[in-house]
Amino acid sequence: MDTRTHDSGDVSFPESEPVRVRRGSTGIRILLTLLFGVIWGALEALLGVAVVFSIAWALIAQQAPPERLRALANSLVAYSYRIWRYLTYADSRVPFPFSDFPEPLEPIRDLGADSAVEVQGLLDARDDYDEEDDD
C-alpha cells in the first residue's frame, strides 16, 4: 500500500485515491436527476394545492383539515425529502418508482379541538404581552 503524503504546512495527510466514476452510470444518474427534478416540480405544485385547500378548509369549517389530506401531504413531504437527498447526492438509493414509496417521516398529530384551544391560548398570551408594551 502506498503511504505517500502531502505536506501542507503543519499538517500532512495521506494522498487520496482519485474517484473513479464509470461514464455509463454517470449518464444514467444525470437522466434520473432530470426526471426527479420534474417529479419534484409536480410534487411542489401538489403540496401547494394541499396547503391552499387546508387553509380554506380551516377558514370555512373552523377545524383542522381531514386526516386523509394531512396523511397525503405528510407522505408527499417524505417523498420530496427522498428526492432531494437523491438529487444532492446525499443518498444513492433511487426514489420511487424505482424503489418502495417512503414511509412518512413523522406521525400525524391529532389536530382536534385541543389544538384550537392551544393556539387561542398563545394568541391571548401575545395580546397580554402587547398590552404590557403599551403601558
- Residue 111 pLDDT > 80, yes or no? no
Task: Evaluate if pTM is beyond 0.75.
Answer: no
Q: What is the pLDDT of residue 99?
A: 79
> CA 41, 43, 49 angle in degrees (round to 5)?
110
Note the pLDDT of residue 48.
Answer: 94
**CA-based torsion, 61, 65, 66, 67: positive or negative:** negative
